[in-house]
Structures are given as C-alpha cells and as structure tokens.
C-alpha cells in the first residue's frame, strides 16, 4: 500500500484554500508559530472520544504500536474485520491514497455502522463534510455502511450520580447528508490531488476564506504585504465589509473616506486613528463614576467548562467557578487590599468558592466587574445550586457595576483599542506599562485549560507552579481594573 496523500484534516484544509493545502504539504516551515494559547488548547486532554467508546463496549483498538504508522493501522483494521471483530475503535481505511480514521465501527445484524465522536454540542457543516469524506473512503474500500452517525454531547444532560453515557451523548445519523455530499467529496479529492501533484503554488489572494471555517495558520506568509494599521485591524466589523474597503484601495484605516457604510462605532475608531487622539466624553465618564463610588471592590472570576460534567447537578460545558481575585479600596487615597481564592483541583470547587467570596465581599461597597455577564451568570448558577445563600448572593448581584460600560458606550475611546472594549485591548491602550505578555498564563482560556489539566498533574512542583501562575494571572486582571478605573477618575478631575 502506498502512503496516503490526503487525510481528513488535509482534505478539509484543501476545501478551505488550495494554497493552504499546498503550503502545508511542501512549505510547512512557513506555518505561523503556534501561540501559547493555541498550544494549551491543542494539548488539552480530551477524554470524550474514549468515553464514547463505552457506548459500544468490548471493542478492539486498531491503533498500531507506533501511532503514526497509518499503513499498519489500515492493515490492523483489515485483519480485525476479517477475523470477525464486531466493534473496532480507531478503524483506519485508505482509498486512492486518501486516509480516514473512524472513531468507532460496529457490526450489528451483519450490517456495518460508523460513528464519529465530536466533543461539541452541535453539528457543524465541517463535521458533515468530515463524515462525508469518511463515508466515501470507507465504502470505496469495500465496507458497505448501513449508517454513519455523529456522536455529540447532549447539552441538556444533568449529572445525577455516575455519568449516564446514554444521557450524555446524542447519536445523530448523518447518512442523508453524507450521501448527498459524495459528488462534492469526489470533486474535491480530485482537485486537492491535482493541487498536491502540481509543482507550482496555487495563486490564491487573501480573502474571507482565510478566516472561515478556521483562521488559517499561513496568514504570516500570505498577509505580510498587508500594512500595519490596515482596515482589517478594525474589530467588530464583518469581514465582507472590510474586504470591500480593502479591494476598493483603502488599505489603512486613515485612508477610509468620511462617507462610508461602516457603523457608528467603527467610525469613532476611524476618527480616533485620523486625529491620533483619544475621544473622551467627560460628562458621560462622570455619570458612570457617580455609580461607582467608594468603597470599591474590583472582582474577577475564572471558570472552567468540563465537557463531561464532573460534579452533581452540573451540565456539559457549564461554567464552574474555581478562582477569583478581589482588590478592595476603602476610599480614593486608601491602600489597595487584595483577596484571592483558588480551589483545590481535586474536589467540587463551587461551595468553597462561594463561601469565601461571600465572606471577602461582606463589607459594604460597589463591586466592579469587567463585562458583567459571566460573573452574573456564575452567581445566578450558584444561587440555584446553593439556595441557602440566595439572599447573600442577591446582595452581591445588586452591588455589581460593569466597568466595561464607559468603553462599550464609547465614552472613552483610545485608537489603540481597535474598536474593541475587551480588557485585553483597553488595558494596553490606557495603561501600557501593565501587560499580560510576560505571564505564562495570559488569558482566561489558558487559565481554564491549566486548571482542568491540574486535576491530572502528578508532579507536585509543576502543580504548585501552575497554581502560582493562575494566581498571578487573575490578580493582574483585577489590578488592571484598578488602573483603568484610575484613568477614568483622571478624566473628570478638572470638570
Ligand atoms: S492565509 Fe488565506 S490565502 Fe493564504 S493559505 Fe491561508 S487561507 Fe489561503
């Protein structure tokens, strides 16, 4: 058997962009450096696939000793089928140098059924194409499938005792879609094969396809002629609108004419870039500050979202709070105090989190949060889980004020915010001396994965190091809020 040329992932890459497929095959070194955030996501332990295998117990895994030896995987699968094995995990097939590895293959009443596991709660168009390719490879290699299904997570499942696999997973047949896509698969396999077999790079211009369905990992290569301060730096605007401007010749934000089709917020950004100045509505900032009077708490939560519920009465992907940071200032000139909590990773963190939080916020005072939605949802969720604390939780909810408001409403706009009001954009614009860039954990999603992985960490020193990094990160989040608040206070000093 010849080595495969296309796999599921390269087939999907070719569907997104033939140049991406070509570069991946021949110039992999041009691929963008993987960010620490992406690395953390890739390394995330995913036990969903292994758990789903238990829906079909007693199977045999076709994975060879050397995992990368795909020819051996195909050979193992063939032998298992021939020897009468009826449940095969990681079943590998190859047809016309296209490789497909299926999560679970099952024989029932002499008919074959294919199952692909996704840790998502929804079926996306990419999953349907992925299943369609699997169907094409498997059936063309001689195994006729009675059905092909996706196994996804049921987001309505609530854990009650041991995990109930039949409740946790939903099995959806996608045979109809797979059959309807067979011609498309054939055409795209042929097209991708010709891309790979042609010695020159396809001439593909940058476009919306660079972002959809995934952000391409060759943007550093293809986008290098896009100037800094380009129109693409305006966040919150549809890519179609930005490409329309770019293709009309407006390459940078300052070239965009005053008469344009962009919305009010994008135009505030354009105006700030052109004037190279902040745009501040002092009266609006002052109105906000009237709601945020001392004493003040600055509060931030970190949560993780296990796909498989770990604790009683929780759902898949529910936000489980495991950490908070609180800065407290009695009045404008008093010292800043700091409180923090980081849960024990080996037990349900919710009650300990809540009890400590209520204690640390029992003093009177407005509680500032940045982008209130998550903190509010977490507290409302805890209220349901622990109704005995409902009135105290309601008290904290009623004291919460959202520090994002003056930025969201453009009462204070700095051109470096790039039309975004995320704290990751607002902080460097307003307080450039503070930065997340030197932190090992520098974003909420990395913190989430770091805590989830701590549960499996056996090296005590590594675990302690991760815990210190988590504390440092969350503390910076609330310290950043303190500094941002001081900038707002500075605005109204001379009103
Ligand atoms: S950056 Fe865009 S044009 Fe370049 S390979 Fe990726 S998708 Fe294709």
Top mutation candidate among 20, 27, 223, 243 for ligand 1, by most atoms within 8 Å of CB: 20
Average pLDDT over residues 430-443: 86
pLDDT, position 458:
83
User: Which residue carries 């999907």 as its tokens?
Assistant: 12
pLDDT, position 419:
85
Q: Tell me the CA–centroid distance for residue 34 and ligand 1, in Å.
A: 16
Contact 333, 313 (CB under 8 A): no
Contact 27, 199 (CB under 8 A): no
Average pLDDT over residues 219-236: 92
The string of pLDDT tens digits covering residues 262-302 is 998 899 999 999 998 999 999 999 999 999 999 999 999 99
Contact 235, 419 (CB under 8 A): yes
Atom 7 of ligand 1, nearest CA residue: 210
**How, if at all, do strands 145-153 and 111-117 pair?**
parallel
pLDDT, position 229:
87
Residue 494 clears pLDDT 80, i.e. is over it: no
- At residue 324 the predicted structure's pLDDT band, cuts being 50, 70 and 90, is very high
Average pLDDT over residues 103-119: 97
Q: Tell me the CA–centroid distance for residue 33 and ligand 1, in Å.
A: 15
Atom 4 of ligand 1, nearest CA residue: 222
Residues with CB under 6 A from ligand 1: 17, 19-20, 23, 204, 206, 209-210, 216, 218-219, 222
Contact 150, 174 (CB under 8 A): yes
pLDDT, position 214:
92
> CA-CA distance, 341 to 303, in Å (whole number)?
12
The string of pLDDT tens digits covering residues 370-402 is 999 999 999 999 999 999 999 999 999 999 999
pLDDT, position 19:
98
Top mutation candidate among 25, 208, 217, 218 for ligand 1, by most atoms within 8 Å of CB: 218
What values do phi and psi take at 100, rounded to 5? -135, 130
> CA-CA distance, 8 to 93, in Å (whole number)?
11
- At residue 459 the predicted structure's pLDDT band, cuts being 50, 70 and 90, is confident
Q: Tell me the CA–centroid distance for residue 205 and ligand 1, in Å.
A: 7
Q: Tell me the CA–centroid distance for residue 211 and ligand 1, in Å.
A: 9
pLDDT, position 344:
94
Atom 5 of ligand 1, nearest CA residue: 20
pTM here? 0.89
Residue 442 clears pLDDT 90, i.e. is over it: no
Q: What is the largest CA-CA distance in the chain?
A: 85
pLDDT, position 141:
96
Contact 312, 158 (CB under 8 A): no
Contact 452, 41 (CB under 8 A): no
For the CA of 216, the closest atom of ligand 1 is 6
Contact 208, 240 (CB under 8 A): yes
The string of pLDDT tens digits covering residues 400-415 is 999 999 999 999 999 9
Q: Tell me the CA–centroid distance for residue 209 and ligand 1, in Å.
A: 7
Top mutation candidate among 31, 32, 219 for ligand 1, by most atoms within 8 Å of CB: 219
Q: Tell me the CA–centroid distance for residue 194 and ligand 1, in Å.
A: 18
pLDDT, position 41:
65
Residue 199 clears pLDDT 90, i.e. is over it: no
> CA-CA distance, 115 to 104, in Å (whole number)?
5
- The mean of the pLDDT values for the chain is 93
């Amino acid at each position: 058997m010849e080595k495969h040329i296309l796999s599921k992932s390269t087939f999907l890459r070719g569907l997104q962009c033939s140049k991406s497929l070509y570069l991946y095959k021949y110039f992999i070194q041009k691929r963008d450096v993987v960010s620490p955030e992406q690395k953390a996501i890739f390394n995330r332990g995913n036990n969903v696939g292994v758990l789903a295998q238990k829906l079909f117990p007693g199977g045999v895994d076709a994975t060879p000793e050397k995992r990368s030896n795909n020819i051996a995987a195909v050979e193992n699968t063939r032998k298992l089928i021939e020897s009468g094995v009826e449940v095969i995990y990681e079943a590998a097939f190859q047809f016309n140098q296209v490789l497909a590895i299926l999560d679970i293959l099952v024989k029932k009443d002499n008919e074959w059924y294919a199952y692909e596991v996704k840790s998502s709660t929804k079926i996306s168009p990419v999953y349907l194409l992925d299943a369609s390719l699997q169907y094409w490879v498997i059936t063309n290699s001689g195994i006729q499938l009675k059905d092909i299904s996706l196994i996804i997570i049921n987001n309505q499942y609530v854990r009650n005792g041991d995990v109930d696999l039949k409740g946790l997973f939903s099995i959806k047949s996608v045979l109809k879609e797979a059959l309807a896509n067979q011609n498309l698969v054939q055409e795209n396999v042929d097209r991708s094969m010709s891309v790979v077999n042609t010695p020159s790079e396809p001439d593909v211009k940058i476009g919306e396809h660079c972002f959809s369905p995934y952000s391409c990992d060759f943007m550093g290569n293809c986008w290098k002629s896009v100037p800094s301060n380009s129109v693409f730096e305006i966040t919150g605007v549809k890519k179609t609108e930005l490409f329309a401007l770019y293709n009309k010749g407006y390459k940078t934000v300052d070239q965009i004419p005053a008469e344009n089709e962009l919305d009010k917020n994008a135009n505030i950004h354009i105006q700030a870039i052109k004037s190279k100045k902040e745009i501040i509505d002092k009266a609006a900032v002052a109105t906000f500050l009237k709601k945020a009077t001392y004493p003040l708490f600055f509060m931030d939560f970190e949560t993780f979202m296990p796909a498989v519920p770990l604790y009683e009465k929780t759902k898949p992907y529910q936000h489980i709070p495991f950490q908070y940071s609180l800065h407290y200032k009695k009045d404008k000139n008093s010292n800043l105090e700091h409180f923090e909590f980081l849960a024990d990773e080996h037990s349900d963190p919710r009650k300990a989190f809540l009890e400590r939080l209520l204690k640390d916020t029992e003093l009177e005072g407005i509680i500032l949060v940045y982008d209130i939605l998550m903190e509010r949802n977490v507290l409302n969720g805890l209220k349901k889980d622990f109704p005995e604390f409902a009135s105290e939780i309601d008290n904290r909810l009623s004291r919460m004020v959202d520090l994002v408001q003056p930025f969201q409403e453009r009462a204070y706009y700095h051109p470096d915010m790039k039309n975004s009001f995320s704290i990751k954009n607002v902080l460097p614009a307003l307080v450039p001396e503070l930065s997340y860039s030197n932190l090992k954990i520098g974003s909420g999603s990395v913190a989430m994965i770091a805590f989830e992985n701590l549960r499996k960490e056996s090296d005590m020193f590594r675990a302690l190091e991760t815990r210190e990094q988590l504390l440092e990160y969350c503390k910076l989040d609330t310290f950043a809020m303190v500094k941002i608040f001081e900038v707002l206070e500075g605005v109204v000093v001379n009103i």
